[in-house]
Structures are given as structure tokens and as C-alpha cells.
Amino acid sequence: MDNATPSSSWVQQAVLQMRASDTYQSKVFDEHYETLPVPVWNSQQNWLVVGFGVNSRTGGPLGAITSRAPHLVCAIEWPSAALHWVVDNTAQRAWPTQAGLPEPVIPTDRQGDLTQRRQRYYEALSRALDKGAFASKPPADARAACEAARATRDALLPASPYKNLLPHYATPLHSIDGWIAANCG
């Protein structure tokens, strides 16, 4: 991807590139769940992280819905879109998890179908990354970054209607809220 000009569809393009990769095509089954990409960062770098795991319900109304930790994780580097896969037994630790956080609740006032809501999330997250949100370094334009970060936060859960995946979003949401609290007054 063009590093110099990240676009409003950067996240969408990054996800499509991830799916086109050899690792994805050989390791990820259609019957696996796939989480939304969530932002993760440290003092040097920020990434989008996507988790994959065995789904107890794919392909039909079979069995009870249960949450299973990701057994595959892909970290997509911002802004290069380089892919880093964790495909061994360390994958569970690669997914951001913090004990004791409450399980998120999907808002009921969702507008549009799943495809439209997912698109809104991708666009908000692309904008947020472009404006310097979800990084250790304070953003140059705090107002724009905070606006995009809040839009990302609002769009995340409506983009996933899957209740069995909600426990996986508790820590990423907590991190997003933490970034907003620290940078947006």
C-alpha cells in the first residue's frame, strides 16, 4: 500500500490484502470467526490486530454460542500494511486481553446493515490512524484526532453483531477509551 497517502479506505484495503495473503488462505478456514481489526500501539509502532478462532456456530444454527480465544492473530502494521502472523500456541497471548474488564454491550440504535456499519468503522479507524490517534506520541491536530477516535469508538461494536465475540473487544475498547481520556481532555 502507498505509505505516503493513507486514504479513508486504508483499513478496508489492509483487510483485503490480509485476506489475499498466502498465510490467510492456508491457515484460516471459512468456518473460523474473524474479529474486526482493533488498534494496538506502543511507544514505537501502532498496528491493527485481527484474531481468528474456532467458531462453535458457523454454518448453521448448531450448538450453543461460546467464546473461544483466537488461535491465530494477524498484526497489520500502520502505515506500511506489512503483515505479522502469529500462528502457533502464542497466538492467544498476542490478542490484547486484560482481566477484570466488563463485557461490552452492543448499542441497540444501530443504523444501516452490517456491511454499511462495518464500512463506517473501517473509515473512522482509517481517519483516526491518519490523524495520529491510537499512538503514544500526542497527535499534531488533537481536535481532528479526537473526533476521529471518538467516531471509531462509536462505530466499533455496531460493526460486529456477534455476541460471542464481545469479550474479545473489552480490552481494545478499554485502550481506545484510555487514549481518548489521555489526549482529548
Give, for 123, the enclosing helix (H) or strand (E).
helix 114-130
Nearest partner of 18 among 76, 99, 94, 70, judged by Cα = 76
Compute CA 118 distance to the chain's CA centroid, rounded to the nearest angstrom: 11
Strand segments, DSSP code E, in 17-151 are: 32-34, 38-41, 46-54, 72-78, 83-86
Cβ proximity to another protein: between 28 and 86 the closer is 28
Q: How far is the CB of 160 from another protein (least distance, A)?
A: 7
Q: How far is the CB of 45 from another protein (least distance, A)?
A: 26
89 belongs to the binding site for another protein (CB under 8 A):
no
Q: How far is the CB of 138 from another protein (least distance, A)?
A: 35
Question: Binders of another protein among 129-168, rule CB under 8 A?
Answer: 160-165
Cβ neighbours of residue 1 closer than 8 Å, sequence gap 6 or more: 10, 13, 14, 17, 79, 80, 81
Cβ proximity to another protein: between 57 and 150 the closer is 57
Q: How far is the CB of 48 from another protein (least distance, A)?
A: 17
Count of residues that bind another protein according to CB under 8 A: 36
Q: What percent of the residues of the chain are helix, what percent strand, and what percent coil, each to the nearest 5?
A: 40, 15, 45
- Window 28-57: contact mask with another protein (x via CB under 8 A): xxxxxxxx------------------xxxx
Q: Vertex 69, ends 67 and 73: CA angle to 5°?
A: 135
Nearest partner of 164 among 74, 70, 80, judged by Cα = 70
Sort strands 32-34 and 38-41 into parallel, antiparallel or unpaired. Answer: unpaired
Cβ proximity to another protein: between 29 and 93 the closer is 29
Residue from 8, 103, 114, 154 that binds another protein (CB under 8 A)? 114
Which one of 12-20, 38-46, 146-154, 174-182 is the stretch in contact with another protein (CB under 8 A)?
12-20
Q: List interacting residues with another protein (CB under 8 A).
A: 16, 19-20, 24-35, 54-63, 65, 113-115, 118, 160-165
